[in-house]
């Protein structure tokens, strides 16, 4: 029993160690939520309690049958040669063939280990669900941030359009006259024409903080007196550009509201995994990165075969049937019983008469009798014992075939996941390149828009492409990280030294 007590203490340590290992390359908040899930999730706790219950079957299987005590009394004492029998007591203890109880304990031990592997499978499935839900939250948070950044770009673009509209009498390149404090203004002041202007717009497009609220921006449009009236006629194309930019900003506002609503729903689902109130707060980072993946096919296969709980469950099932077959074989041998019979004997009527007459009496008259007994069961009907042994053998063979089938399925899942990982990695690389090219193109085309060499339609199209690449990249990174977690589940979230 000391072995099982030590094993029980190690279970919680292994669970905590698994959580620590699987979160070694993620944020501290994810590590915290994984621990909460392992402690609070009702499904995990139910399977762990089932494992604790299965451990109690081991001492039951090793216990002997209760002894049988038989007591009988005569309503009228039965006359014997030397006395009268009043009653008798029989106590009998049966013992199975040597090694039967040990085989039964071995079977229950493997059955308990099966339950433990089921607990591990439930725990690992929970970890995978937490991982998937966490990266879904990270994706939504990243997409919110991308939409906010693109809204700021539109605000800068609107400022440029308003300044062009505010100076209709100037040439196309002269209509843009931002304040000297902005990087774009400094670049334009120092660059006379052409390619040198690109660098200035690059600074602006990559994160300039210069923004103008709609009220302050429109103040440039609402000059005083006759100046405004004289400018409206020739600047109507500029006003349409401003309105189109605001239409795009409205679309992004709708996207933000939709993402916020989806994020709220996904947070409630995440809290359900942690068995917490749906409104509990969750700290989600603004950005997340692609997880490193350092496993090769050989190491994954070896770790999967030795650590996967589904395979472990089938292995333990086969060993349990093997032990059951041994127990069935020993049950076909005789059982032995050891007991005592105690007979309560009173004095006979003859002895009473002898006492009155003074005649001699037998020394055995009225003496209680104690008789040791041995019993043996005779397993005469062999067909049922042979059938039990054949049943255990067939079930053991079935477990072996089930093991091969499960292993093949897991290996197929591994190759499919590896393909998906490679595909997701290629998509991440592609979207990163496209995002950088879109940023460069956006800076160039804004320069051309300011110089009057390009129209707003092309600027908005490139801005849409930039946002699309950013959203797709966030989705690809989330999918990649979830698939990495799926591979870790195949090896039960255990890692070799890296």
Average predicted confidence (pLDDT) for the chain: 80
Q: What is the average per-residue pLDDT within 188-205?
A: 36
Distances (CA, A) of 131 to 37, 43, 291, 486: 11, 17, 12, 9
DSSP class of 98: T
DSSP string, 108-142: HHHHHHHHHHHHHHHHHHHHHHHHHHHHHHHHHHH
**Tens digit of pLDDT for each residue in 21-48?**
444 444 457 888 999 999 999 999 999 9
pLDDT digits (tens, 9 = 90+) for 453-493: 888 889 999 999 999 999 999 999 999 999 999 999 999 87
Q: What is the mean pLDDT of residues 175-179?
A: 37
Model pLDDT, residue 224: 36
pLDDT band at 358 (very low <50, low <70, confident <90, very high): low
pLDDT digits (tens, 9 = 90+) for 248-287: 999 999 999 999 999 999 999 999 999 999 999 998 988 8
Instruction: Answer with the residue of higher pLDDT: 9 or 36.
Output: 36
Rg (CA), the chain: 43
Q: What is the pLDDT of residue 174?
A: 42
Angle at 78 between CA 76 and CA 84, to 5 degrees: 105
Can you tell me the mean pLDDT for 154-163? 89
* E strand or H helix at 375: strand 369-376
DSSP 3-state of 379: coil
Query: Is the pLDDT confidence value at 498 over 60?
Result: no
Q: Compute CA 263 distance to the chain's CA centroid, rounded to the nearest angstrom.
A: 20
Q: How many CA atoms lie within 13 A of 48 on its CB side?
A: 17
pLDDT on residue 222: 39
Choose between 120 and 366: higher pLDDT. 120
Residue 186 has pLDDT above 70, yes or no: no
Confidence of residue 199 (pLDDT cuts 50, 70, 90): very low
Which residues lie closer than 8 Å to 145 by C-beta, 6 or more apart? 286, 287
The larger pLDDT score, comparing residue 346 to residue 420, is at 420
Greater confidence, 19 or 81?
81
- Under DSSP, the state recorded for 290 is P
- Cβ atoms of 498 and 294 within 8 Å: the answer is yes
Taking 50 as the threshold, does the pLDDT of residue 221 lie above it? Answer: no
Contacts by 11-18, CB closer than 8 A, 24 or more apart: 11/48, 11/51, 11/116, 15/123, 18/123, 18/127, 18/492, 18/493, 18/494
**Secondary structure of residue 405 in the 3-state scheme:** helix
Full-model pTM: 0.74
């Amino acid at each position: 029993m000391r072995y099982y007590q030590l094993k029980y203490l190690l279970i919680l340590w292994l669970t905590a160690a698994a959580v620590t290992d699987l979160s070694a390359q993620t944020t501290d908040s994810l590590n915290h939520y994984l621990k909460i899930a392992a402690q609070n999730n009702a499904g995990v706790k139910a399977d762990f309690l089932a494992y604790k219950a299965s451990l109690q079957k081991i001492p039951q299987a090793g216990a002997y049958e209760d002894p049988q005590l038989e007591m009988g009394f005569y309503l009228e004492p039965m006359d014997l040669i030397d006395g009268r029998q009043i009653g008798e007591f029989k106590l009998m203890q049966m013992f199975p063939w040597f090694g039967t109880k040990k085989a039964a304990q071995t079977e229950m031990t493997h059955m308990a280990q099966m339950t433990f592997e089921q607990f591990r499978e439930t725990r690992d499935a929970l970890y995978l669900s937490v991982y998937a839900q966490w990266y879904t939250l990270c994706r939504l948070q990243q997409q919110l941030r991308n939409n906010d950044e693109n809204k700021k770009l539109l605000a800068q673009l609107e400022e440029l359009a308003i300044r062009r509209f505010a100076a209709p009498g100037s040439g196309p390149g002269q209509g843009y006259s931002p304040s000297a404090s902005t990087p774009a203004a400094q670049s334009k002041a120092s660059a006379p024409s052409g390619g040198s202007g690109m660098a200035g717009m690059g600074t602006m497009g990559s994160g300039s903080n210069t923004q103008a609220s709609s009220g302050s921006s429109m103040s440039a449009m609402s000059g005083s007196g006759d100046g405004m009236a004289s400018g409206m006629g020739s600047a109507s194309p500029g006003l349409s550009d401003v309105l189109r930019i605001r239409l795009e900003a409205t679309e992004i506002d709708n996207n933000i509201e939709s993402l916020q609503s989806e994020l709220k729903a996904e947070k409630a689902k995440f809290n359900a995994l942690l068995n917490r109130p749906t409104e509990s707060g969750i700290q989600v980072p603004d950005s997340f990165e692609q997880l490193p993946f350092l496993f090769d096919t050989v190491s994954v296969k070896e770790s999967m075969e030795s650590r996967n709980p589904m395979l472990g469950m089938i292995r333990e099932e086969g060993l349990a049937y093997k032990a059951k077959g041994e127990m069935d074989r020993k049950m076909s041998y005789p059982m032995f019983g050891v007991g005592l019979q105690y007979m309560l004997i009173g004095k006979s009527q003859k002895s009473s008469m002898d006492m009155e007459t003074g005649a001699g009496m037998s020394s055995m008259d009225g003496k209680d009798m104690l008789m040791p007994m041995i019993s043996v069961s005779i397993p005469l009907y062999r067909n049922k014992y042979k059938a039990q042994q054949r049943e255990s053998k067939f079930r053991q063979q079935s477990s072996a075939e089930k093991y091969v089938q499960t292993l093949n399925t897991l290996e197929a899942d591994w190759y499919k996941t590896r393909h998906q990982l490679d595909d997701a990695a290629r998509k991440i690389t592609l979207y990163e390149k496209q995002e950088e090219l879109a940023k460069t193109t956006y800076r160039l085309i804004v320069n051309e828009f300011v110089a009057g060499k390009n129209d707003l339609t092309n600027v908005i199209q490139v801005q849409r492409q930039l946002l699309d690449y950013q959203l797709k990249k966030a989705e690809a990174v989330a999918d990649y990280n979830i698939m990495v977690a799926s591979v870790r589940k195949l090896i039960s979230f255990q890692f070799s030294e890296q």
